Structure 1
């Protein structure tokens, strides 16, 4: 996203400090190493408060220990990115090799709607709903920090936040293309969302599959909510 030099420096930083997490910022197009002042540096990162005034970051990059954390943002990572309103990136390291940087943030709204690989918190079902509304309607829906399996952790993320995102619940008889559906998939609460399209098609993104358009018919029995954007 910011060029090979930034990626090379961030990955070298992650490898040098493993198994601890490292953090840095992109400023003036360069990667700058920043001290990780977190109490538990093997499981998280925290940058000194003056980092923001000193460097005016264009992006934040931190590392994950591959033996502890997966190569996608945690709920805490998402909280930080949403609050900062700039791109965040993750380098994952196992002590010997590092991954390419995984970037996330609102720039991902412009990614193609179909053919996406599933990445929790980045390219997932709600991420696709956000992208569709941005690309097709010019509407920037709010993002919400989430863990990979929030529905198994006592949360009801979709049902609790749809009004905050500007939606209202509607009856199935009112549904029109562009409306959103929620589904329950082997879960106690709705855990999946997508968009109704023209001609009986829908757009959605399931874990383990590429995002796609396909007929809505086989999925209707799983739908728990229909929603229309109302702002």
Structure 2
């Protein structure tokens, strides 16, 4: 992934991006570069993320910008960090299909990056909720190993603490059926309840008592499926195409 030429954007856009990033510091700022009536504009957007270490651009702000003109790039800041894309940035850049202008604050350095078809590895990826998390790993596993595209559900930070029950309410829509109590098969998805009132963690059974999963604050990886993980499993689901 090579950086691009920031000269592609006007000085007014760069200045407005830097000012917004400084105003939001130490929280990440986010915005869009939009082409309106032949002129570039920087549009500041709301960051819906609860923490300070990532951003979730408000969908209403994106829709409004898209209604006004052509979205040219996504902009966000890296407080106290270099303007290099994180693993989550690379994944989201591919999803959006747009260049990303990343700004370091308070220093004020910036770089422009382009999507290149990047795909994160299944093993060893860092955790970023909603981008690289346990459900993302299940989706990527099914796409890479089985050629099956699973829907991507919106999942706010700590949804399980806010009355959400996304796994139990969404597995059927994603094409899975409940096979709890049956002998485990390779590719089965294990729905686990980890310090939560509802199942909030998922892993893929690889066979031979091994589970592939991704925990918060840890890299994704394989572990023996027994003991603790087996005890907190609440449901086993299998994709209809594998039944």
TM-score under structure 1 normalisation? 0.70
Residues 2, 113 of structure 2: 8 Å contact kept? no
Q: Return 91-100 or 120-129, whichever deviates more.
A: 91-100
Shift of 1:61: 1.2
Select 1:226's aligned residue among 220, 236, 239.
Answer: 236
The answer to whether structure 1 residue 24 and structure 2 residue 16 are counterparts is no
1:35 is displaced (CA, Å) by 2.8
| Aligned match of 2:203 | 194
Matched residue SS, 1:203: strand
Larger Rg: 2
Establish whether residue 15 from structure 1 lines up as the match of residue 10 from structure 2: no
1:133 CA drift (Å)? 0.2
Cα contact 2:3–2:113 (8 A) shared by 1:
no
Partner Cα distance (1:7, 1:185) in 2: 48
Distance apart, 1:139 and its partner CA: 0.8
Q: Would the aligned equivalents of 1:37 and 1:48 in 2 still touch at CA under 8 Å? A: no
Q: Deviations over 1:98-148 (max 9, x none)?
A: 7888999xx66x311000011111110000000000000011111111122
Q: What residue number does 2:5 align with? A: 5
Aligned positions, number: 206
1:55 to 66, 70, 83: 70
Report how far residue 7 of structure 1 moved.
Answer: 11
Q: Gaps spanning 5+ residues in structure 2: where? A: 47-55, 81-85
After the TM superposition, list the runs of 4 or more consecutive aligned residues in structure 1 that deviate by more than 4 angstroms. Answer: 6-13, 47-50, 64-67, 88-104
Q: TM-score, normalised by structure 2?
A: 0.67
Partner of 1:217: 226
Shift, 1:34, TM fit: 3.6
1:146 aligns with 2:149: no
Q: Tell me how far 1:198 sits from its aligned partner.
A: 2.2
